[in-house]
Amino acid sequence: MKKFIVTFSIFLFLLLSTNTVNAFAASKTLTQGLYTLKDSGLSAGVDYNVENNSSGRAILLIIDSTQLIQELIRFEPNSRKYTLKPLNYGDIIIIVTVGNLEFS
């Protein structure tokens, strides 16, 4: 009986340790507009990288629930990635651009 329990425990340990799932956040593309966190499909408490892949300039403005500006970023065409502070549920995202911004 002891052999069975030891063998079963080792088998169970190996089975559970080899089935790991990697979670990758899908990138989200937003165009010009005014978004709440729910409307944008983004998650709260996550650090997002934002980049402008279009050939035009863009402005990203994030306003919190107390109507204070948290971030204001001006993107040049085909800019590098910027890391945003974690978003909260009451935040409003305002995007002004001809193209789109990619959140990843």
DSSP assignment of 44-101: TT---EEEE-SSS-EEEEEE-TTS-EEEEEEEPTTPPPEEPPPP-TT-EEEEEEEEEE
- Rounded CA separation 56/75 (Å): 9
Structure tokens at 104: 């990843």
Going residue by residue through the chain, which has 104 residues, state the pLDDT in tens, using 9 for 90 and above: 777 787 877 777 777 776 555 455 568 899 999 999 888 888 888 889 999 988 889 999 999 999 999 999 999 998 889 999 999 999 999 999 988 899 98
| pTM of the predicted structure, to 2 decimals | 0.72
Do 29 and 102 contact (CB within 8 A), yes or no?
Answer: yes
